[in-house]
Amino acid sequence: MKEPFKFHHAGLTAPASGALVITPSDGSDLPSAIRAVTLGGEGRLSFVGWDGQIHTTGPLPAGTYALLACRIRATGTTATDITGWI
């Protein structure tokens, strides 16, 4: 397949270029930082942002949310069926 955009920079508003099935972990970073997350099941999400700080949301319904993260933490995460978007 021809790559018509291979010389274009993908900004944060560009479509995702890949996806990761996420298993929350307190000790391991994601294989690639993500810019959005889809929660298949409602709950809280605890993550380490690109700024290195820990952030925890309030209860969220299932859906897709923009966020910049390098780790989804097990401690504090109750949401299920998590997909990260690169």
pLDDT tens readout for residues 43-84? 999 999 989 999 999 999 999 999 999 999 999 999 999 999
Of 7 and 61, which is predicted with more confidence? 61
Determine the average pLDDT of the residues in 29-55: 96
Residue 85 pLDDT greater than 60, yes or no: yes
Tell me how far apart the alpha carbons of residues 24 and 69 are, in angstroms, rounded to a whole number: 12
Q: Please state the rounded mean pLDDT for residues 22-39.
A: 96
Q: What is the dihedral angle through the alpha carbons of 4, 33, 61, 57, rounded to the nearest 10 degrees?
A: -140
pTM assigned to the model: 0.85
- At 53 the pLDDT is 97
